[in-house]
Amino acid sequence: MPSGRTHDRITLYALPFVAGVTFWQTRSGNVTLLVAGGFLFGGLMFGPDLDIYSVQYQRWGFLRWIWLPYQKSLRHRSFLSHGPIIGTILRVIYLGCLLAILAIFILPIATKLWNLTFTWQDLGATIGRSLTIYSTEFLALFLGLELGAMSHSLSDWSGSAYKRVQKQGIRALLSSSKSKKRKPTNRGSRRAVRQGKQGKQGE
């Protein structure tokens, strides 16, 4: 598995390519900025390795503790953290839930301090309206986050596969896929042995 510095280099080296392809396809500076920003954030701070004590985790500074429940809930390099699309969606939902919990405490305090008449219905309507109006921008940001996360996961998988091929040859890739198949149990044979022993003791 590549080191944290290697992942950072991959992200930084791939950033101009991602930005260039995005601008070539969209001809939009705003969309390109969102995709590139999401890619950079996803590769450096919001990637799959938040499920362990990693460089990405440490970059959250004094806020890194918010990822401790996430780490304890997931096995490292599981499909829920490193899987395509599902990993990014899960992290976005997780962070969104934390922000919602934070808003529960902040909104009542803000309404009393500044005499605001902002309600939860207003907040929900504002969020829904923003998601509708800026759907393209949100999609571009999510695409950037996903590309940043996938550059990390793909480098992990390719690095592991390369090491296996170096040690065992091309057969390592074939044997790894076969080893994932469930091995048949020999409960029947064990049961027969026990019954045979019991029969001998009875005689």
Task: With respect to residue 50, please indicate whether it lies within any of the assigned structural domains.
Answer: yes
Locus of tokens 């909104």 = 107
Q: What's residue 180's pLDDT?
A: 46
If one counts the domains in the chain, the total is: 1
Q: What's residue 142's pLDDT?
A: 97
Task: With respect to residue 106, please indicate whether it lies within any of the assigned structural domains.
Answer: yes
Task: With respect to residue 188, please indicate whether it lies within any of the assigned structural domains.
Answer: no
Tokens of 108: 């009542």
Locus of tokens 């390519």 = 17
pTM over 0.95: no
Task: With respect to residue 199, please indicate whether it lies within any of the assigned structural domains.
Answer: no
Determine the Cα–Cα distance for residues 164 and 179; give it in Å rounded to an integer. Answer: 14
- Residue 42's pLDDT band, with cuts at 50, 70 and 90, is very high
Instruction: List the domain range (segments joined by +) for residue 102.
Output: 4-179
- pLDDT > 90? residue 188: no
* Percent of the chain surpassing pLDDT 70: 75
Locus of tokens 């309600």 = 119
Locus of tokens 């907040």 = 123
C-alpha 106: how far from chain center: 28
Could you read off the pLDDT of 120-147 as tens digits, one per residue? 787 788 888 988 999 999 999 999 999 9
Task: With respect to residue 8, please indicate whether it lies within any of the assigned structural domains.
Answer: yes
Task: With respect to residue 135, please indicate whether it lies within any of the assigned structural domains.
Answer: yes
Mean pLDDT throughout 29-51? 95
Could you read off the pLDDT of 141-174 as tens digits, one per residue? 999 999 999 988 887 777 666 566 667 666 655 6
Task: With respect to residue 202, please indicate whether it lies within any of the assigned structural domains.
Answer: no
Torsion of CA 121, 124, 126, 130, to 10 degrees: -160
Task: With respect to residue 67, please indicate whether it lies within any of the assigned structural domains.
Answer: yes
149 and 42 Cβ atoms separated by less than 8 Å:
yes
Determine the Cα–Cα distance for residues 7 and 4; give it in Å rounded to an integer. Answer: 5
- Which of 21, 14, 59 minimizes the C-alpha distance to 39? 14
Mean pLDDT throughout 68-81? 91
